[in-house]
């Protein structure tokens, strides 16, 4: 059984890492894409956010599919969509078709954005859930750090499309793992509740959790998207700007430690409030003092929030696929809208000052909403 749990964890980790790499491949490439295709920063933000469009409208359906029919077939289908989108990205020459490739990848994300957490929530129920979520939570920062430090080097040495070849190879490896190595357990009787019944079963606390999760990501992911461009404008080289931006994710490797405390504290929701206040203040400071140390500090404050959100959800609903899908819908809405808005504010004002204020406010409002949560 222990061996099976390790395999389940690795499956969840690999799927989430592939999601992270496909999601974060764009930010470190933005300076190269802007220069090569002669697009605006708001268009670059759209290129980042378009992957969130399909999960925004169909995310609940993804959770419903996983709750009813399991993991393997939906994941294999999503992997084929990833492979098609990644292949298109490599060969197209225009911005419109580049946008289409990201849109196709977004359809794969309908399942990918939920399945990792669903596997963890279903297979690791019990007193150690916080710690397992903490270790799983390192997938996104690992993918982001890899993207921000490896992909700019590849882009500068060869071409900005070449990092997608790396992702295409990884997608085929994950497909091999799922098809030949991942064995899904026999499922119990299929849940025959309708999609509407499952939606009605979600409590108001799940909605609040989703809203604050979306607001946190609106600020955090917008910073991560435009940080390389911001630091380039401050005089950093493209490679060093990408490296400094990636420091934001190093704090996320403290996620297992946060998970440990989540299992023992009485009010985990306070982690969201404290993290949001400190992160919003840090974002303002980074605008005035473009110090790598402040970027690391902001990442440490940010890590208090994601594990807490994922830990709290199973306490508010038993329909984990639907619950995590709802969280993902709020994230995808913020990811679709906020990078475009942040980029537009920069294009309009000429500096990133208004953009940083908006990022900080998004995070702070989300933290205040956490006061509405009370764990049972």
For the stretch 327-355, pLDDT in tens is: 888 887 887 788 888 888 888 888 889 99
pLDDT band at 363 (very low <50, low <70, confident <90, very high): very high
pLDDT band at 187 (very low <50, low <70, confident <90, very high): low
pLDDT band at 2 (very low <50, low <70, confident <90, very high): low
Mean predicted lDDT score pLDDT of the chain: 87
Say which residues have a Cβ less than 8 Å from residue 176's Cβ, sequence separation at least 6: none
pLDDT digit string, tens, across residues 224-249: 888 888 998 888 888 888 889 888 98
CA distance linking residue 79 with residue 73, whole number of Å: 10
Task: Identify the pLDDT of residue 284.
Answer: 95
Task: Identify the pLDDT of residue 197.
Answer: 59
pLDDT band at 305 (very low <50, low <70, confident <90, very high): very high
pLDDT at 358 over 90: yes
181 secondary structure, DSSP code: I
CA distance linking residue 104 with residue 53, whole number of Å: 10
Question: Which position has the higher pLDDT, 323 or 78?
Answer: 78
Alpha-carbon dihedral 322, 45, 241, 19, rounded to 10 degrees: 30
Q: What is the pTM of this model?
A: 0.78
Task: Identify the pLDDT of residue 302.
Answer: 95
Query: What's the average model confidence in pLDDT over 121-143?
Result: 84
CA distance linking residue 364 with residue 205, whole number of Å: 18
pLDDT at 194 over 60: no
Question: Which position has the higher pLDDT, 197 or 143?
Answer: 143
Task: Identify the pLDDT of residue 328.
Answer: 80
CB-based contact 271:323 (threshold 8 Å): no
The share of the chain scoring above pLDDT 90, in percent, equals 40
Query: What's the average model confidence in pLDDT over 84-98?
Result: 91
The share of the chain scoring above pLDDT 70, in percent, equals 93
SS3 sequence of 258-281: HHHHHCCCCCCHHHHHHHHHHHHH
The token pair at 113 is 């954005």
| Residue extents of the structural domains in the chain | 2-184+192-372
Range of 141-150, 232-241, 359-368 with top mean pLDDT: 359-368
pLDDT at 9 over 60: yes
Report helix, strand or coil for 125: coil
pLDDT band at 122 (very low <50, low <70, confident <90, very high): confident
CATH topology of domain 2-184+192-372: Growth Hormone; Chain: A; (1.20.1250)
CB-based contact 275:368 (threshold 8 Å): no
pLDDT at 173 over 60: yes
Task: Identify the pLDDT of residue 266.
Answer: 73
Task: Identify the pLDDT of residue 253.
Answer: 85
Task: Identify the pLDDT of residue 297.
Answer: 95
């Amino acid at each position: 059984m222990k061996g099976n749990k390790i395999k389940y964890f690795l499956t969840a980790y690999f799927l989430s890492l592939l999601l992270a790499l496909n999601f974060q491949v764009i930010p470190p490439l933005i300076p190269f894409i802007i220069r090569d295709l002669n697009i605006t920063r708001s268009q670059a933000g759209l290129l980042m956010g378009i992957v969130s469009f399909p999960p925004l409208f169909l995310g609940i359906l993804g959770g419903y599919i996983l709750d009813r029919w399991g993991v393997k077939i939906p994941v294999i289908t999503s992997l084929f969509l990833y492979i098609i989108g990644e292949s298109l990205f490599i060969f197209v020459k225009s911005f419109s078709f580049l946008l289409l490739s990201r849109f196709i990848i977004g359809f794969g994300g309908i399942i990918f954005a939920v399945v990792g957490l669903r596997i963890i929530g279903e297979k690791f129920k019990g007193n150690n859930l916080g710690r397992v979520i903490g270790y799983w939570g390192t997938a996104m920062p690992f993918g982001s750090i890899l993207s921000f430090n490896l992909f700019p080097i590849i882009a500068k040495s060869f071409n900005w499309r070449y990092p997608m070849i790396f992702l295409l190879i990884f997608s085929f490896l994950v497909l091999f793992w799922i098809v030949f190595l991942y064995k899904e357990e026999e499922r119990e009787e299929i849940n025959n509740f309708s999609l509407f019944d499952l939606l009605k079963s979600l409590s108001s606390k799940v909605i609040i959790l989703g809203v604050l999760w979306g607001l946190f990501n609106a600020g955090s992911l917008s910073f991560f998207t435009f940080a390389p461009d911001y630091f380039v404008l401050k005089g950093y080289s493209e490679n060093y700007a990408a490296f400094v931006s990636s420091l934001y994710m190093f704090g996320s490797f403290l996620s297992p430690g946060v998970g440990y405390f989540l299992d023992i504290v009485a009010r985990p929701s306070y982690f969201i409030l404290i993290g949001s206040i400190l992160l919003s203040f840090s974002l303002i400071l980074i605008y005035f003092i473009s110090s790598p140390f402040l970027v690391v500090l902001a990442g440490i404050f940010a890590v208090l929030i994601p594990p807490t959100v994922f830990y709290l959800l199973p306490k508010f609903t038993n329909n984990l696929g639907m619950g995590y899908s709802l969280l993902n819908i709020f994230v995808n809405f913020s990811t679709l809208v906020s990078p475009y808005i942040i980029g537009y504010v920069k294009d309009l004002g000429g500096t990133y000052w208004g953009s940083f204020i908006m990022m900080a406010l998004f995070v702070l409002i989300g933290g205040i909403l956490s006061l509405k949560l009370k764990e049972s």
